[in-house]
Amino acid sequence: MKIMKSQIKFLLPILLLLVIACSQQEEKKSSDFYGYVECTQLNVTTRMPGKITDIYVNEGDYVKENQEVAQLDTKELKAHREALVARLKNIKVNLKRVTNLYNAGAVPKQKLDEVETGYEIVRDNLAALDTKLEDMTIRSPINGVVNVRVLEVGQMMPPGMPVVIVTDTSATYARFSIPETYLEQVKLGEKINLKVVGNDSTVAGKVVQIVPMADFATHTPTTASDQRDIRSFSVRVKINNKNGFFKPGMNVYTTLNNPNRKGDKQ
């Protein structure tokens, strides 16, 4: 009886090691590759400088394409416009008078041309000013969510400086670095299953880009038994994000079968 107990004690560690080894072999059948969510982000800005008088949105607000986001001070431009309108009105009256005189033969054609040219110049200046006034109202170029409010009311806005940054949630992607040994399982245009870290749900994505140049080596030979470097390729996967669940920077992962490395030395 004592001999049997001693045999059991001897066999238990061996059995435990076998179970661990089997489980490890099972785990090696696949590997998880982690990536991150990225969305198209646009700076909402204008080519006109000016002082911000109003901002109509806050971070987290949903905006539609062409929706007003902010307003720059237009007092000076409006005063200039009033002066141009008054000048154009006077020139128009003078043009009518000179035209009548020309038709009556009282003034030469050159005089009429000068007045007509003056009228066209002021009219074009007024149209250009109206364009500037329109640019003083800053609008969102896309549908999306306000991700960052960069400036505040009262600040001066230089040309090209964003007042807010809008994220296009309809253009949502996951970015992965996939080793070349797994790349044959990732085909351009095919679907790939993604999982969210901390969430059991699985979402199908579509591979839309595989960068043709390798990024870096994920495995570098360290012994004579290793055959070669294993390099990584950047893979971009399109995600359906109609409900807005996926946020920029969110961690996701995909599971791929481990490749059969028969040619590698053990």
Tokens of 213: 């140049």
pLDDT number for residue 170:
83
pLDDT number for residue 86:
96
pLDDT number for residue 12:
53
CA 121 to each of CA 128, 133, 254: distance values in angstroms, whole numbers, following the listed order:
11, 18, 63
pLDDT number for residue 209:
92
Amino acid letter, 231: R
pLDDT number for residue 197:
83
Residue 193 exposure: Cα atoms within 13 Å on the Cβ side: 8
pLDDT tens for the chain, 266 residues: list them: 544 555 555 455 555 555 555 555 455 688 899 999 999 899 999 999 999 999 999 999 999 999 999 999 999 999 999 999 999 999 999 999 999 999 999 999 999 999 999 999 999 999 999 999 999 999 999 999 999 999 999 999 999 899 999 998 888 999 999 998 898 999 999 999 999 887 777 888 999 999 887 765 554 444 444 456 778 899 999 998 877 788 888 899 999 998 865 444 33
pLDDT number for residue 190:
92
Q: At 189, phi and psi to the nearest 5?
A: 90, -10
pTM beyond cutoff 0.75: no
pLDDT number for residue 23:
53
Of 98, 33, 8, which Cα lies nearest the Cα of 256? 33
* Strand ranges for the chain from DSSP E: 30-44, 50-55, 62-63, 68-72, 137-139, 144-149, 156-157, 164-179, 191-196, 202-210, 217-219, 230-239, 251-257
pLDDT number for residue 249:
87
Q: How far is Cα 151 from Cα 69, in angstroms, rounded to an integer?
A: 12
